[in-house]
């Protein structure tokens, strides 16, 4: 955009001063916001699939072609403010190679969501807003965001994007009223209208007790919807355990349940899954639990690879249409690049590959009329502060057509199975959850009973039992 300034010309002596109008450009930080002009999206590879909608039965998420999409998520919360363009490209290149297809990210930074400062600035000083006005955008910041979203898109990664969250509502967005929030939401939606890889989130360690904040978040969502954008939306409530539909305010607004728990994950996922069907059809997606390198249960053992396996496998065998992994590098500590491929990431990749290779969307939890009739261990029926490694419950799921099923067995035991629930001539095999790409171990049944085969390749005693026709 061109603005008028003046050039001072001095001629001869004594001075003759001429003021000449000239077209000058304001510095980048003062440029008028371009929010209402859609940013240029990436060129989508035909093989890449993005979360776009919810299945008709409310159990899972669909891609842009209406096909079931298993969410294979990561949680780089602070990437918008911590990454250079080259680092973002490195991150998403590496994540695609490890099978990830989704990311949880805050659009605007706060120290509590992993950013370097509470004013929303990037690591190199780009502020999102001019003079703190959330509807007056610093174009350089938003061009940085554009580039990160394009990198994610180019590597087949859907961003579960928090335009406002439970942390920056206390900093950058403090004092924002509902009208400003609505305008801001509309600006974000218009800018990213042509990005196929953005769905919507808010909250994050948010306990929904403040009605004013609820109204501000809802106004932001109203602004997004006012543009015609109907991509799925949900809210992340508070720890130690929560579902998005726990809040009466948000129950009617969310398209899927963000399952958040630091306890054995099957309990929360099953609580959410039971709401599927009837009056409340929406996916029960496991969104956050203990992160690699952290443990959010006081006085409990550190998070291990087995902890992370249990969290994911309990969820995937209890009705969750995918899972999100997280690590202590959500704050991007020095050297994070070297920690993108840990043993836990390798194990999770193989677990996800195992489910993705099968009709996972046909699985329903083995809850009512179960096929695992004995040997399941102790099932949690109350929400208690309990470490993941201190519960031994075996979760299971069976396809609706009876052609296959799977049981996650966290400790050594003998199971009793009712195989009449399956199609004829099923075979049984043990899958090593620490490396699900290893050849299966034949499961030798003694009548209706089958026993775990010993230690897995990680030195643990957890196994997956595959029942397949």
Residues 309 and 392 grouped into a single domain: no
* Strand (E) or helix (H) holding 158: strand 158-162
Percent of the chain at pLDDT above 70? 91
pLDDT tens track for 28-65: 444 444 557 799 988 889 999 999 999 999 999 999 99
Residues 336 and 441 grouped into a single domain: no
pLDDT tens track for 389-407: 999 999 999 999 999 999 9
In a domain, 27, yes or no: no
Q: How many CA atoms lie within 13 Å of 276's alpha carbon, on the beta-carbon side?
A: 24
What's the farthest any 2 CA atoms get from each other in the chain? 112
Residues 200 and 103 grouped into a single domain: yes
pLDDT tens track for 313-343: 999 999 999 999 999 999 999 999 999 999 9
Into how many domains does the chain fold?
2
What domain range is 412 assigned to? 365-468
Given a cut of 50, is residue 256 above it in pLDDT? yes
3-state secondary structure of 398: strand
> Which residue, among 310, 319, 318, 317, has the nearest Cα to 289 in the 3D structure?
310
In a domain, 9, yes or no: no
Domain-ending residue, one of 344, 360, 376: 360
Q: Which residues pair with 53 in a beta bridge?
A: 62
Residues 298 and 386 grouped into a single domain: no
Whole-number pLDDT of residue 241: 95
> Which residue, among 366, 287, 336, 373, has the nearest Cα to 104 in the 3D structure?
287
For the residues 201-209, what does the mean pLDDT come to? 94
Residues 279 and 298 grouped into a single domain: yes
Look up residue 228 and give its DSSP letter.
Answer: T
Whole-number pLDDT of residue 368: 84
Domain-ending residue, one of 315, 337, 360: 360
Rounded CA separation 152/198 (Å):
10
In a domain, 313, yes or no: yes
Domain-ending residue, one of 360, 381, 406: 360
Q: How many helices (H) and strands (E) does the chain have?
A: 9, 24
Burial readout 176-191 (b: 16 or more C-beta within 10 A, e: otherwise): bebebbbbbbbbbbbb
């Amino acid at each position: 955009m061109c603005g008028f300034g003046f050039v001072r010309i001095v001629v001869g002596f004594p001075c003759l001063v001429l003021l000449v109008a000239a077209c000058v450009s304001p510095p980048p930080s003062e440029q008028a916001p371009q929010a209402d002009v859609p940013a240029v999206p990436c060129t989508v590879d035909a093989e890449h699939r993005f979360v776009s909608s919810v299945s008709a039965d409310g159990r899972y998420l669909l891609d842009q072609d209406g096909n079931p999409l298993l969410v294979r998520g990561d949680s780089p919360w602070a990437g918008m403010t911590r990454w250079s363009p080259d680092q973002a490209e490195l991150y998403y290149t590496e994540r695609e190679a490890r099978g990830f297809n989704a990311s949880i990210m805050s659009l605007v930074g706060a120290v509590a969501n992993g950013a370097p400062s509470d004013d929303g600035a990037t690591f190199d000083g780009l502020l999102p807003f001019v003079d703190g006005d959330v509807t007056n955008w610093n174009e350089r910041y938003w061009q940085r965001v554009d580039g990160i979203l394009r990198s994610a898109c180019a590597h087949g990664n859907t961003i579960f994007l928090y335009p406002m969250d439970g942390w920056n509502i206390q900093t950058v967005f403090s004092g924002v009223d509902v009208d400003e929030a609505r305008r801001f939401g509309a600006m974000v939606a218009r800018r990213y209208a042509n990005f196929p890889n953005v769905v919507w989130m808010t909250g994050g360690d948010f306990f929904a007790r403040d009605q004013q904040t609820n109204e501000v978040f809802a106004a932001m969502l109203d602004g997004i919807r006012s543009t015609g954008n109907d991509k799925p939306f949900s809210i992340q409530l508070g720890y130690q355990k929560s579902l998005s539909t726990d809040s009466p305010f948000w129950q009617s607004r969310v398209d899927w349940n963000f399952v958040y728990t630091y306890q054995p994950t099957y309990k929360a996922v099953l609580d959410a899954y039971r709401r599927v069907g009837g009056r409340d059809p929406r996916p029960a997606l496991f969104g956050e639990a203990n992160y690699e390198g952290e443990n959010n249960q006081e006085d409990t053992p550190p998070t291990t690879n087995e902890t992370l396996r249990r969290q994911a496998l309990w969820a995937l065998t209890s009705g969750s249409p995918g899972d999100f992994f997280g690590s202590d590098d959500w704050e991007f500590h020095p050297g994070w690049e070297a920690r993108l491929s840990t043993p836990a990431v390798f194990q999770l990749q193989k677990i996800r590959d195992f489910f993705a290779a099968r009709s996972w969307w046909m699985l329903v939890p083995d809850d009512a009329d179960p096929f695992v009739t004995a040997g399941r261990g102790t099932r949690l029926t109350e929400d208690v502060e309990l470490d993941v490694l201190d519960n031994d419950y075996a979760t299971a799921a069976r396809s609706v057509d009876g052609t296959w099923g799977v049981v996650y067995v966290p400790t050594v035991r003998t199971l009793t199975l009712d195989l009449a629930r399956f199609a004829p001539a099923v075979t049984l095999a043990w899958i090593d959850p620490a490396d699900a790409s290893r050849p299966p171990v034949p499961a030798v049944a003694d009548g209706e009973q089958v026993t775990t085969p010993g230690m897995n390749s990680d030195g643990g005693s957890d196994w997956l039992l595959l029942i397949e026709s």
